[in-house]
Structure 1
Amino acid sequence: MNVSQTMETEEDLLSCLQIKFYHPQQSCRALYGLLPLGSRSRLSADDPLRFGRDAQSCTFSLVDPRVSRKQLALFAYRTPHSPDMLFTIQNLSQRGRLSVNGQALGYLERTDLPDKALVRFGEYEMLIIRESGEAKASFEVEFEVLAVPPSREMCMYEPSVTPVMDTGSRVMNRFPVHLRATGPLETDETLMCHS
């Protein structure tokens, strides 16, 4: 096999991480001033992708004093059984909590990133969607800012959110207002009814 057959070509399909940010005070857009919004950036797969406040040590920076100097890192890897490029995420913040789909990661802990992940740190929410590709040496990243929090659409990843049961509102509307305000009533099956 000659060298030209083993080299990665421009035609190879690159994996892409779509990273969509949300923050409650993002209206000023200054938070994302250092991110290349709306365009794809090509990165080397052998270097970790770091996010944080420090523009010198991070690949991409957030302009926010509440973000750790080094907040998190994404690492690309491959397995012998799959042509796809996969990623892990690691918490680099000693003081900040990081969660991935509701699973908390402590300092320097890491976990595999699924194809669609909700990452939270501070008041930030990052929706990371992986588009598969077969290129081995590089991948792309595309940034976007969301108008609404992605957790609204992905509430299944929130451990604190529980499903709401149907209260039978049509039935409750037949009762007087003072009984509706108290909510559902429980009965004790051991009590006997006397007429």
Structure 2
Amino acid sequence: MNVSQTMETEEDLLPCLLIKVYHPQQSCRPLYGLLPVGNRRRHSADDPFRLGRDAQSCTYSLVDPRVSRKQLSLHAYRTPQSPDMLFTIQNLSQRGQLRVNSSALGYLERMDLPDKALIRFGEYEMVITRESGEAKANFEVEFEVMTVPPSREMCMWEPSGTPVADTGSRVMTSYPLELRAVGPLETDETVMCYS
């Protein structure tokens, strides 16, 4: 077999992590000056991807003294059951929790990264979306800046102001018992009002 047939080619579709970032003070502070916003960057799958304040030890850096020197890392991996490149996310900050959707990760705790996840630390919110690809040795990363908090886009809001992830379920303690027994309703169903 020819060597050129077995090597990964530039034509292979690379998996991509699309990372959309938001901070409430991003319009008045240059937080993303060290991020390659709007440009896809190739990253080796065998190296951990780190995000934090320290440009020397992190792959990508935020210009913010309130961010930990090393905030989080993403690790690529594969399983025998799936051809896709998958990722775990790990909290590297000793100062605070890292929230992945509704789960909180303490220092050095890690979990599998879903295909689409809302990540929160400090006042930062990020949506990380994994796009599949065929390449095995590399993946791409692309950063975008959001103008509104992603939690507003990805969540429904309860009457109390508590956000609920868009899983289709929510705590319905403020509703009558008859409606709580039914569970989530489709938008086209008619519900009788109880007084």
TM > 0.5 between the two? yes
> Which of the numbers 161, 164, 182 marks the counterpart of 2:163?
161
Who is 1:99 aligned against?
Answer: 99
Who is 1:110 aligned against?
Answer: 110
2 CA distance for matches of 1:53 and 1:157?
A: 32
**Aligned-pair identity (%):** 79
Structure 1: gaps spanning 5 or more residues: 168-185, 187-195
Deviation at 1:113, TM superposition (A): 0.6
Higher helix content, 1 or 2: 1
Aligned length: 167
2 CA distance for matches of 1:68 and 1:91?
A: 10
Who is 1:130 aligned against?
Answer: 130
Question: Which stretches of structure 1, 4 residues or longer, exceed 4 Å deviation after superposition?
Answer: 162-167
2 CA distance for matches of 1:157 and 1:126?
A: 19
Aligned Cα RMSD in Å? 2.2
- The answer to whether structure 1 residue 19 and structure 2 residue 43 are counterparts is no
1 CA distance for matches of 2:138 and 2:151?
A: 29
Who is 2:60 aligned against?
Answer: 60
**Tell me, what secondary structure is at the counterpart of 1:104?**
strand
CA offsets 1:128-174 (integer angstroms, 9 cap, x no match): 0111001001000000000000001212699x43568789xxxxxxx
**Tell me, what secondary structure is at the counterpart of 1:27?**
coil
Cα 1:95–1:157, aligned 2, differ >3 Å: closer, same or farther? Answer: farther
Deviation at 1:5, TM superposition (A): 2.1
Contact 1:102/1:157 (<8 A) preserved: no
1 CA distance for matches of 2:47 and 2:103?
A: 25
Who is 1:170 aligned against?
Answer: none
2 CA distance for matches of 1:10 and 1:156?
A: 41
Q: TM-score, normalised by structure 2?
A: 0.80
Cα 1:109–1:21, aligned 2, differ >3 Å: closer, same or farther? Answer: same
1 CA distance for matches of 2:97 and 2:138?
A: 29
Higher strand content, 1 or 2: 2
CA offsets 1:63-89 (integer angstroms, 9 cap, x no match): 000000000000111111211111110
CA offsets 1:11-34 (integer angstroms, 9 cap, x no match): 111001000000010003510000
**Tell me, what secondary structure is at the counterpart of 1:153?**
helix
Q: TM-score, normalised by structure 1?
A: 0.80
